[in-house]
Amino acid sequence: MTEAPLAETARSREPQAESQTGMTDQQWWDAHAPFLGAIADASRVGQAAGETH
């Protein structure tokens, strides 16, 4: 089984991104996880979808 083309493209760009940002992919995700978790909280989205604005 081969990787999807998008995954191959992302993987091929990792060294370039790391040299430009000074962060590995894992470091980026670790640094941004709290923010991403807050905006992607499905329970909050579900509550907001039912509210009248």
What tens digit of pLDDT does each residue of 4-51 get? Answer: 777 777 777 777 878 888 998 889 889 988 888 777 666 665 565 666
Determine the Cα–Cα distance for residues 20 and 13; give it in Å rounded to an integer.
Answer: 11
The pLDDT of residue 27 is 92
Determine the Cα–Cα distance for residues 7 and 1; give it in Å rounded to an integer.
Answer: 13
pTM, to two decimals: 0.47
One-letter amino acid of 8: E
Determine the Cα–Cα distance for residues 32 and 8; give it in Å rounded to an integer.
Answer: 23
Contact by Cβ (8 Å): 38, 45: no
Contact by Cβ (8 Å): 36, 43: no
